[in-house]
Amino acid sequence: MKKNEPSKIRNIAIVGHGKSGKTSLAEAMLFSGKATDRLCRVDNGESVLDWEPEEKDRRMTIMSGFHHVTWKKCAVNIIDTPGDSNFVADTFNSLQVVDAAVLVIDAASGVQVITEKIWQVLKSRKIPTVIFVNKLDRENTDFYAILDNIKNSLGVSLTPVTIPIGKESGFGGVVDLVKMKGLRFASDDSGALSEGDIPADMSGRVDELRQQLIENIAESDESLLEKYLEGGELSVDEISATMTTGIKDTSLVGVLCGCAVKNHGVQPLLDFIVQYFPSPVDRAELEVLDPKTGEPRTVAISEGGPLLAYVFKTIADPYAGKLTLFRVFSGELAADSTVYNATRDTKEKVGNILRIEGKNQSAIDAAVAGDIVAVAKLKETSTGDTFCEPGSAVKFKGITHPRPVTSYAVMAKTRADEDKMASSLHRLMEEDPTLLLEKNEATKEFVLSGVGQVHIDVTAQRLKRKFGVEIEMKLPKIAYKETIKGKTRIQGKHKKQSGGRGQFADTWIEIEPLPSGGGFEFVDKIVGGAIPRNYIPAVEKGIANQMVEGILAGYPIVDVRVSLVDGGYHDVDSSDMAFQIAGSKGFKAGFVQCNPILLEPIMLVEVTVPDDLTGDVMGDVNSRRGRVLGMEQGVGGQMVRALVPQSEMLTYSAELTSMTSGRGMFTMQFDHYEELPHNLAEKVIAASQKEEK
């Protein structure tokens, strides 16, 4: 396949809240550009982009899908991104390698939580964006009400480019406000348009919005503003040229409309993308990091410059091996060559360079500036790595994802899968940075954590399908800790005689609490040689080992000071082991005299919900023994901040989804430990004793 010309490339991400019709829009683009021979539909499992079995089963995008279409001699690289809160992190990864975005908004639902989250990222990264108001054929849709909804929710000034002719089931075309033409849709799904006059009954609305378009454009160019204020007419060429500049510098946000599943309004959107969105050569420089200092700096990029590429995604395939996806920002990379990975200071052998086309790939001779491509079976490279020329080492700034909030203890269903489970999960973690697998040393469990319940369920399905590993999941044990509130002085003595050399060690210790976070402190107060110096470390070791095992309920003991104050020994029968046992015995007996308690982990929780659900969420937090710290306006509604025991949050992801009909989101991270109430501590201790028996 021949190389692309960088100036003719458009790299776009299709983004928005789940179920807004992003994949349907991408499929319509592919069909309009003849990349597919029919208009594929998501609702019947035919989608080219949502091809994974889990996506087909759930009728939703789980991983970003990739394809390309040729439109008016331009290569449009399309990334169809997830819009569900469980998988939107993949969207943010994809936004690092595109030059523009299409933000899809459901005309019936309007701006939703994920819409606002994505908009904040688009705005912060200054990504040129056009809004596509979708599903205008639905009942109870009002394009002009949605415009107000977008303005108020996103706080953005809009420039409508096309507006609908007719509404709901009568939606039959659009008015192009730049060319001032009426465009009627064909009765089939071909996407064809017939040009005609603007309906007479729309003249007032058209004049008003045309005036708004002219004013927005004129305000971004002083010479045009002067001409406009003097009563001059702006030509289509002047409007188009100034709009191109405004879209590229993000001072203008265009709005188009249509119905993706019927391929209505998609061709004007493709025209807009080709005409107004920037190409890779429009970016002359890029902010990167110095790999030694970590400080940001700017580097020049061009199609003829040195190679600079960013690895933004990894796909694990049990048969083809690892597939590494990257965007070339500068220079060129040929197939069957060697590339330098600056992040890992290593060289990688590159075989075939592949363009991703849904679940298929096609090989190309070389990747040029602007190409989004893949390479198979790289050994060292991972997501977030940078390719560049040796000697010009730079690296891209990585993206930080929120810590996963839903966790399950996992174990292989069969003994044969035990060895494969961890390695297979780590391969899935390579392609999904929001997954986390940890061994909890306190509970001895493998804990798999993800963004939400659906995320974990999908991971288990993919683990079975891709690697043949089935896992069992249960709620994880809470990593309680044990400590004391009182103090004591006690003897720990070990004496054993069984013929021949015996065992003898005598210790006196003082046990007292330390402030929270104090850990373990051992103090040697032996004077006069009551215990020889060489045996004192053994006493400390015996106590430390007992602290790891716990005493009340088998959880680690923390925040304790133990002072060795006196003791005795035998010239023949004393040994390191005897003093370890004596220290352990004394500590175990003394611990229960010091008002022992259990500590539970407390999480800092931030829940974002629409304003009308704030009261419900606060009431629910209180019912979970939580303490509300405050409330503030967040992205997507009110953000409630609270401290909640971890034991009360194990199933919160699913419960919040149910409580808010999927409109709520939350983040959670460990904050501190607190004393577990006595009645609950008794239950934990009883359960531990039962399990031990």
Range of the domain at 316: 285-388
In a domain, 398, yes or no: no
Residue 169 clears pLDDT 60, i.e. is over it? yes
In a domain, 472, yes or no: yes
Confidence band (pLDDT; 50, 70, 90) for 663? confident
The answer to whether the beta carbons of residues 218 and 245 sit under 8 Å apart is: no
- Domain termination residue (choose one: 563, 594, 625): 594
| Together in a domain, 23 and 11 | yes
| Together in a domain, 242 and 153 | yes
Helix (H) and strand (E) counts for the chain?
16, 36
- The predicted model gives 428-438 an average pLDDT of 93
Q: How far is CA 577 from CA 1, 248, 497, 522, 590, in A?
A: 73, 74, 15, 18, 20
Distance CA 113, CA 664 (A): 8
Residue 493 burial by Cβ neighbours in a 10 Å radius (0-12, 13-18, 19+): middle
Q: Please tell me whether residue 293 adopts helix, strand or coil conformation.
A: coil
| Together in a domain, 533 and 548 | yes
In a domain, 396, yes or no: no
| Together in a domain, 184 and 102 | yes
Question: Residue 498: what residue type?
Answer: S
Residue 324 clears pLDDT 80, i.e. is over it? yes
Q: Write down the pLDDT at residue 292.
A: 76
Q: Write down the pLDDT at residue 390.
A: 87
CATH code, domain with 361: 2.40.30.10
| Together in a domain, 426 and 326 | no
Q: How far is CA 421 from CA 316, 413, 463, 509, in A?
A: 15, 10, 8, 46
Average pLDDT, the chain: 93
What are the φ and ψ backbone dihedral angles of 66, each rounded to 5 degrees?
-125, 140
**DSSP codes joined into one string, 342-386:** TTTTEEEEE--EEEEETTEEEEESEEETT-EEEEE--SS--TT-E
Residue position matching structure tokens 């174990």: 411
Q: Is 452 left (phi over 0), alpha (psi -120 to 50) or beta?
A: beta
Q: Write down the pLDDT at residue 223.
A: 78
- Domain termination residue (choose one: 452, 477, 502): 477
- For 362, the token pair is 């096609």
The pLDDT tens digits of the residues spanning 75-117 come to 999 999 999 989 999 999 999 999 999 999 999 999 988 898 8
CATH code, domain with 469: 3.30.70.870
In a domain, 394, yes or no: no
C-alpha torsion sign, points 567, 571, 576, 577:
negative
Confidence band (pLDDT; 50, 70, 90) for 368? very high
Q: In this structure, what DSSP letter does residue 615 have?
A: H
Q: Is 0.95 surpassed by the pTM of this model?
A: no
Q: How many CA atoms lie within 13 A of 246 on its CB side?
A: 25
CATH code, domain with 682: 3.30.70.240
In a domain, 486, yes or no: yes
| Together in a domain, 384 and 440 | no
Q: Write down the pLDDT at residue 642.
A: 97
| Together in a domain, 49 and 164 | yes
In a domain, 567, yes or no: yes
Residue 26 clears pLDDT 90, i.e. is over it? yes
Question: Residue 174: what residue type?
Answer: V
What are the φ and ψ backbone dihedral angles of 40, each rounded to 5 degrees?
-80, 145
The answer to whether the beta carbons of residues 225 and 239 sit under 8 Å apart is: no
In a domain, 26, yes or no: yes
In a domain, 639, yes or no: yes
In Å, how far from its chain's centre is CA 424? Answer: 20
Q: What is the largest CA-CA distance in the chain?
A: 116
- Please tell me the total count of domains within the chain: 5
Q: How many CA atoms lie within 13 A of 363 on its CB side?
A: 8
Distance CA 239, CA 217 (A): 7
- Domain termination residue (choose one: 454, 477, 500): 477
The answer to whether the beta carbons of residues 255 and 130 sit under 8 Å apart is: yes
Q: Write down the pLDDT at residue 294.
A: 79
H-type alpha helices, 252-360: 266-276
CATH code, domain with 487: 3.30.230.10
Question: Residue 370: what residue type?
Answer: G
Q: Write down the pLDDT at residue 227.
A: 79
The answer to whether the beta carbons of residues 587 and 489 sit under 8 Å apart is: no
| Together in a domain, 42 and 140 | yes
- The predicted model gives 343-358 an average pLDDT of 94
Helix (H) or strand (E) holding 686: helix 678-692
- The predicted model gives 32-48 an average pLDDT of 91
- For 30, the token pair is 């592919």
| Together in a domain, 274 and 131 | yes
Question: Residue 128: what residue type?
Answer: P
Measured between its terminal Cα atoms, the distance across the chain in Å is: 68
Distance CA 402, CA 669 (A): 9
| Together in a domain, 578 and 508 | yes
Distance CA 150, CA 288 (A): 33
